């Protein structure tokens, strides 16, 4: 009878603990999410301060107002009876009224918070020169159109990089001291070069000299009708940029992680597990990979931050129609609204990456699960 009771108690405790775990993870994630959101807000605010240092945001808004007013007045038939001077006077007056309406005459500190809100919601008005492929001039539409290719390229590159690095690092730690291990250690410094730099060499070898893969772009022109063929075409165009992303970081990450694995595999509990006769795979999974994962994820987050930054040039080099190449064309055309928009988008993307990694971190780190992390 007593036995049954204790067993029941145990199950009750167990369920309580699991729900407690989930609760803790949720709480941790929520906290992280809120902190990140606040950081994004401050980051975007800083970006707007920088952009407005030269008065560019103000100019942008005023330009929009002037355009609207002149369109309005041009459409007004009564204006046709007035003289040129009168027309100009009415135009100026209307512009001044609108400027007061929008609040451009208010002190900068007051305005900057409204800009912040517009920036955060990507409500940046119209681009000065650039058009989206569908013909829209709204910054939000232009950015939205370019977001998918960027996400496609970066997500596949980053995922591939993470998994190949983990497996490669495990493989190396198993063959510690072998020729391939020493080659990787010697190659680790090559990761000093960013992904676009490897991209140039990959284009030179595989596109210019061998002609196996396209120079750049995202899809064959004209795009194939069959959706399968289209997917194959996109894949073909992705090989080189993704290859450049992986190549630029794989030696360094596998070198660092292999070193982590080696340090952790000399722990006593690993020897203990070996003594118990567990298989190598089981030891690696449960005793080496598990405790190192939080550290690995943190270091991967840093790699990713570098990769996002490099993506602008990577997309430019490969002509990939994403946010990065948009940034490049906006720079060349001096399209201020689009440039401010890309800064905001990149801040969001970085924050999102950090946030996702934080969630994964919470899932794999026992300290978060058991609430020990707070101490």
Partner 1 sequence: MKVIANFFKQLKDYPSAIAGLAIIFLMVCLAIYAVFAIPYEQAVKLWRGDDKVWADTPRNARPVWFNWFYKEKQPVTINLNSAKDPSLKSVQDLGGGMSMVDVVFEFDYNYDGFPSEISLFFTSKFNSARPNVDITWITPDGREIPMSNMALSASNTYTISQDNALSRRLRGVAPEKGLFADPNDPSKVVKGTYKMVIEGLVFEEGADYDAKLVVYGKLHGLAGTDHRRRDITIALLWGTPVALSFGLLAAVGSSLITMMLAAAAVWFGGWVDAVIRRINEIVMILPLLPILIMVGLFYSRSIWAILGVVILLGIFGSSILSYRSMFLQVKQSGYIEAARAYGASSGRIIFRYMIPKVIPVLIPGFVTQVPSYVFLEATLAVLNLGDPLLPTWGKLLNDAYSEGALFTGHFYWVLQPAILLVLTGLGFAMLGFALDRIFNPRLRGL
CA-nearest of 139, 115, 124, 109 to 44 is 115
CB of 215 to partner 1, least distance (A): 7
CB of 307 to partner 1, least distance (A): 11
CB of 285 to partner 1, least distance (A): 22
Counting beta carbons within 10 angstroms of the beta carbon of residue 81, is it exposed (0 to 12), middle (13 to 18) or buried (19 or more)? exposed
* Cα distance between the two ends of the chain: 40
331 counts as binding partner 1 under rule CB under 8 A: yes
CA angle 66, 72, 76 (to 5 degrees): 140
Rule CB under 8 A: choose which of 308, 318, 320, 361 binds partner 1.
Answer: 308
79 counts as binding partner 1 under rule CB under 8 A: no
CA quadruple 360, 348, 317, 139: dihedral positive or negative?
A: positive
Instruction: Rounding to the nearest 10 degrees, give the CA dihedral for residues 300, 306, 311, 317.
Output: -120
Rule CB under 8 A: choose which of 116, 169, 340, 362 binds partner 1.
Answer: 340
CB of 366 to partner 1, least distance (A): 20
Provide CB contacts within 8 A for 349, sequence distance 6+.
150, 308, 323
Could you tell me the two tokens for 90?
A: 């009415």
Could you tell me the two tokens for 141?
A: 């539409």
CB of 36 to partner 1, least distance (A): 7
**Reduced DSSP (H G I as helix, E B as strand, rest coil) percent helix, strand, coil of the chain, to 5:** 80, 0, 20
362 counts as binding partner 1 under rule CB under 8 A: no
Interface residues for partner 1 in 157-186 (CB under 8 A)? 176, 186
Rule CB under 8 A: choose which of 327, 358, 361, 368 binds partner 1.
Answer: 327
35 counts as binding partner 1 under rule CB under 8 A: yes
List residues near partner 1 by CB under 8 A: 35-36, 39-40, 42-43, 46-47, 50-51, 53-54, 56, 176, 186, 188-194, 196-197, 200-201, 203-204, 207-208, 215, 259, 262-263, 302, 305-306, 308-310, 312-313, 316-317, 327-328, 331-332, 334, 339-340, 342-343, 346-347, 349-351, 354
């Amino acid at each position: 009878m007593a036995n049954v009771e204790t067993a029941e108690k145990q199950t009750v405790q167990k369920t309580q603990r699991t729900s407690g775990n989930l609760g803790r993870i949720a709480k941790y994630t929520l906290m992280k999410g809120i902190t990140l959101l606040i950081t994004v807000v401050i980051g975007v605010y800083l970006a707007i301060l920088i952009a407005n240092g030269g008065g560019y945001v103000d100019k942008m808004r005023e330009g929009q107002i002037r355009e609207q007013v002149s369109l309005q007045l041009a459409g007004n038939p009564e204006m046709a009876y007035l003289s040129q001077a009168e027309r100009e006077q009415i135009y100026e007056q209307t512009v001044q009224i609108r400027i007061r309406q929008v609040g451009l005459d208010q002190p900068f500190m007051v305005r900057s918070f409204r800009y912040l809100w517009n920036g955060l919601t990507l409500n940046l008005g119209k681009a000065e020169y650039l058009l989206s492929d569908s013909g829209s001039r709204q910054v939000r539409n232009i950015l939205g159109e370019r977001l998918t290719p960027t996400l496609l390229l970066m997500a596949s590159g980053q995922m591939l990089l993470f998994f190949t690095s983990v497996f490669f690092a495990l493989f190396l730690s198993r063959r510690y001291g072998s020729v391939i291990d020493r080659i990787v250690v010697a190659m680790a410094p090559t990761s000093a070069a960013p992904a676009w730099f490897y991209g140039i060499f990959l284009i030179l070898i595989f596109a210019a000299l061998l002609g196996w893969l396209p120079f750049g772009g995202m899809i064959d022109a004209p795009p194939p009708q069959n959706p399968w063929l289209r997917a194959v075409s996109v894949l073909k165009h992705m090989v080189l940029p993704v290859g450049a992303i992986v190549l630029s970081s794989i030696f360094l990450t596998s070198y660092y992680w292999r070193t982590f694995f080696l340090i952790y595999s000399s722990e006593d509990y690993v020897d203990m597990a070996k003594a118990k006769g567990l298989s190598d795979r089981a030891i690696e999974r449960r005793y080496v990979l598990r405790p190192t994962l939080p550290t690995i994820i943190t270091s991967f987050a840093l790699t990713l931050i570098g990769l996002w930054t490099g993506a602008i040039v990577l997309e430019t080099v490969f002509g990939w129609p994403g946010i990065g190449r948009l940034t490049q064309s906006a720079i060349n055309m001096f399209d201020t609204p689009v440039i401010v928009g890309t800064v905001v988008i990149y801040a969001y993307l970085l924050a999102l990456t950090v946030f996702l990694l934080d969630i994964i971190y919470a899932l794999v780190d026992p300290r978060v699960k058991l609430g020990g992390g707070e101490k």
